[in-house]
Structure 1
Amino acid sequence: MARRCELTGKGPMVGNNVSHAKNRTRRRFLPNLNDVSLQSETLGRTFKLKISAAALRSVDHRGGLDAYLAKAKDAELSENALKIKKDILKAQATA
């Protein structure tokens, strides 16, 4: 699986290691990804996602997975997260 956050779309970046002598070698900066289980209040289920630490803080700040996905842009979300968002919106429409 790719090293990409399922909620924010953050992925690896590239840059240089720079020594004291200013020698430059290429390197990758990887996002801080964590496997977490997030609870959806609307669906009453938990979902396992691989998200960055920054995304986890954003989910807590917005008040949970449902509120985060409601405001999230579809272009940033993974296919799995888009399916969860669609199910939540469908459940809220019928309730």
Structure 2
Amino acid sequence: MSRICELTGKGRQVGHNVSHANNKTKRTFLPNLQNVTLMSDSLEKSVKLRVSTHGLRSVEHVGGLDNWLVKTSDDDLSLRARRLKREVAKKLATAAA
């Protein structure tokens, strides 16, 4: 399982540990990923996703999972999130019609 947020696409970054003597060794910075269950209002079901804490705060700020999926481009979303976005858009389109 890769260490990538399913909603924001945030992944690992590479940098250096720098010692007092200014020696540099490679290291990775991993995102703070959490397994969360988010509720989709339009689909009326819960969805388990692997999300960074930054992504979770962003979802809460926008007003829920459905609003986040509608406003986010497909480039950052994982395959599961893109399928979920398609389902939500279809459900919202039938509700509006």
Q: TM-score, normalised by structure 2?
A: 0.97
- Displaced runs of 4 or more, over 2 A: none
1:15 and 1:61 mapped to 2: Cα distance? 30
Aligned-residue offset at 1:23 = 0.6
Question: 1:17-47 CA distances to partner (integer Å, 9 max, x unpaired)?
Answer: 0000001100000001000000000000000
Alignment partner, residue 3 of structure 2: 3
Question: 1:32-88 CA distances to partner (integer Å, 9 max, x unpaired)?
Answer: 100000000000000000010000000000000000011001000000000000000
Alignment partner, residue 34 of structure 1: 34
1:65 and 1:7 mapped to 2: Cα distance? 10
The answer for unaligned runs of 5 or more in structure 2 is none
For 2:86, the aligned partner's letter is K
Alignment partner, residue 81 of structure 1: 81
The answer for unaligned runs of 5 or more in structure 1 is none
**Partner SS state of residue 35, structure 2:** strand
**Partner SS state of residue 77, structure 1:** coil
Q: TM-score, normalised by structure 1?
A: 0.99
Number of residue-to-residue matches in the alignment: 95
Matches within 5 A, 1:1-95: 1-95=1-95
Aligned-residue offset at 1:94 = 1.0
